[in-house]
Amino acid sequence: MKRSYGRARRTTDAPAAVGQRIELLLDRLSHDGRGIGRWQGRTTFVEGGLPGERVVGRVIRARSKLIEARVDQLLETSSERQAPQCRHADICGGCTLQHISHDTQIELKQQALAQQLQHFAGITPEHWMPPLLGPSYGYRQRTRLSVRWDQRTGRLQTGYRQSASSELVEIRECPILIPVLEALVKELPEVLQQLKACTGLGHVELIGGDAPAMVVRHIRPLAETDVALLEQLASRHDVDLWLQGETDAIRCAEEGAAASELAYQLDDQNLRFTFAPGDFTQVNAVMNQKMVNQAMDWLDAEARQKVLDLFCGVGNFALPLAQRGAEVTGVEGDARMVERAILNAQNNRLDGVHFCQADLSKPFTNETLDQQYQAALLDPPRDGAEALVAALAERGIGRILYVSCNPATLARDAGILASKGYRLVQAGVMDMFPQTAHVEAMALFVSGKEKNRNGTSQS
């Protein structure tokens, strides 16, 4: 009996059902790396598929005119397909582009940025800048592993979420991690399974940097034998052990041992930043250095110019700006990160920078922001900074450098700035998350009233 996969019929009477297997030919690629084809007249996005491939896809979402699926079987394979380096790639929800060449990944991200700017704002940069590139594997220096007790099997599951599912992929390797963290991943599940309190674990965060760390979130207190097992694991991999119960994470250290702190470096600026578990820091150290260097070049702040750094975190951009002689005000919503930024400025002996806490989802209210700034840098979360860019434009700030992790909200905010007379002078993507569909970008906006260094208007 011939097996049927739901080959396209000349009807559109019933949508596909979630879980159904459908066969179709893919003819193009979406900006997030999914193959696109049609099934029963409906546009179908297939994760893991490439143009020219005939696939059997398993439906994960279905609407009246659009279907989303994931490759279940390859019937005809594209010559462009490459073998993923990770054996979990087919089911893990993290690195969804491993089957696509790195060069093609960059092209997709550039196209995504260009399309979003045109779609939402109707604008194109005056200059497209070359993409910032780094290593395609072995780059990630921070990750969080979910831990779940499976009552049915009596086993502890450790890993990442599956694509389009709440189930876990039990991880035994993760080649995008820096080597010290991937080596830890290979042994971690076995050790966690041995803990008496294995049913009371929350998650495990692995952090690289100057003092690599393993942060174990536990819902119930750990027995001394459990702590000893975790300490032995940490010692074998030369990382610090931090335990997080109901309060902040605490570093485990032998009595009398020197205090160790989480930290990373910007070698080109000779700057060192300390942070705490839970603080936001960039996960790609190589790209972070390149991003900071590019931001300094693009913004080109002069000595004694007043610069506003919004969503400043622990000072990643503010300190390099201050080092160049700018008078920097860094603003961050998390009061504890503001304290860390102040400490980082002190530790790096930088006086020309001031930090304060403010809710950046609302218009400016802090008196510290009432002075006049010549330039601003912002690095907002995925939902962008709609209210902020409007406020910056109203203040007549000459140069605005926007660091984005979401091209759609960047494009929306670019439209606001364009409507206020700002030009999008240059933009480009940054390959912060290779093997994934995440698009990071940088864009420089200049007011029509901004003047060149020789004093003439640029408008």
Helix (H) or strand (E) holding 442: strand 440-447
**One of 92, 95, 312, 405 is an active-site residue; which one?**
405
Find out whether 239 and 200 touch, Cβ atoms under 8 Å: no
Cβ neighbours around 347 below 10 Å, total? 14
Find out whether 222 and 197 touch, Cβ atoms under 8 Å: yes
Task: Compute the distance between CA of residue 245 and CA of residue 253 in angstroms, rounded to an integer.
Answer: 16
Length of the chain, in residues? 459
The type of residue at 35 is: G
DSSP label of 121: I
Find out whether 450 and 374 touch, Cβ atoms under 8 Å: no
CA dihedral for 131, 134, 138, 139, sign (positive or negative): negative
Residues 6+ apart with CB under 8 A from 151: none
Residues 6+ apart with CB under 8 A from 363: 387, 391
Buried/exposed 125-158: b ≥16 CB within 10 Å, e otherwise: beeebeebbbebbbbbbbbebbbbeeeeeeebbb
Find out whether 67 and 17 touch, Cβ atoms under 8 Å: no
Tokens of 119: 């779609």
Q: Which of 114, 134, 133, 138 is nearest to 124 (CA)?
A: 114
CA 335 to chain centre: 22
Task: Compute the distance between CA of residue 105 and CA of residue 50 in angstroms, rounded to an integer.
Answer: 12
User: How many Å from the N-terminal Cα to the C-terminal Cα in the chain?
Assistant: 72
Has 95 been annotated as catalytic?
no
As beta bridge partners, residue 432 has none
Task: Compute the distance between CA of residue 96 and CA of residue 189 in angstroms, rounded to an integer.
Answer: 23
| Residues belonging to the active site | 405
